Structure 1
Amino acid sequence: MAERIIVWSENAKFELKEIFDYFNFRNKIKVYSLKLHRIIQVDLKLLLQNPEIGKKTEALNVRGLLIENYFFFMK
């Protein structure tokens, strides 16, 4: 079986950076952003191992995964 990888769209990278920037600005410290980044990495690694855990959407071959308060969509 081919190895799965995550390829981030430019929009997804931008939005994730905006989320981290928001918490860095609001909290005046990067601790929460780093914690959130670790949680996202762990959950996405789990998703790579078990792609069916994502919630089906109306779009063909698109699933969503709720991580903390954010939905991550993937094909």
Structure 2
Amino acid sequence: MAQGEIIWSEDAKKELHKILKFYTERNGSSTYSLKLLGEIEDVLKTLSKSNFIGRLTSNKITRVVPMKVYLIFYEINNNRIEILCFWDNRQDEIKRKFDL
């Protein structure tokens, strides 16, 4: 597949924003948050070129890519990659709005 367009769901955007805000406030600096964003961009560049790198979840539609302590859940629809959830594994799974 050619490079896929990456679309973030509203929930995934909110989750990512919440995580970045947490680290900025906790550290009193945006340095770590910016580093994390750079790492996310690297993963998404790879994903846009090789969109089947994520393993299939139990629903056989959604894929997941691990990134340190985070999981990026996504689905491939036509030539688009939709990020459904950006999940910090240290959170309680019950809080995750996205269900597999």
TM-score by length of structure 2 reads: 0.70
Helix, strand or coil for the counterpart of 1:41? helix
- Matches of 2:2 and 2:66, distance apart in 1: 25
Which residue is equivalent to 2:36?
Answer: 36
Which residue of the partner structure matches residue 4 of structure 1? 4
What is the TM-score normalised by the length of structure 1? Answer: 0.92
Aligned residue for 2:72, secondary structure, equals: strand
**Could you say what secondary structure the match of 1:48 adopts?**
helix
Counterpart contact for 2:5–2:48, Cα < 8 Å: yes
Please list, as runs of the form range in 1=range in 2, the aligned pairs for 1:1-75 lying within 5 A after superposition: 3-75=3-75
Give the 4+ runs in structure 1 shifted more than 6 A: none
Query: What residue ranges of structure 2 are gaps of 5+ in the alignment?
Result: 76-100
* Percent identical residues: 37
Quick check: which one's strand share is greater? Answer: 2
SS at match of 1:17: helix
Letter of the aligned partner of 2:8 in structure 1? W
> What CA distance in whole angstroms lies between the structure 2 residues aligned with 1:3 and 1:71?
21
User: 1 or 2 for the larger relative contact order (CA 8 Å, sep ≥6)?
Assistant: 2
| Matches of 1:53 and 1:2, distance apart in 2 | 14
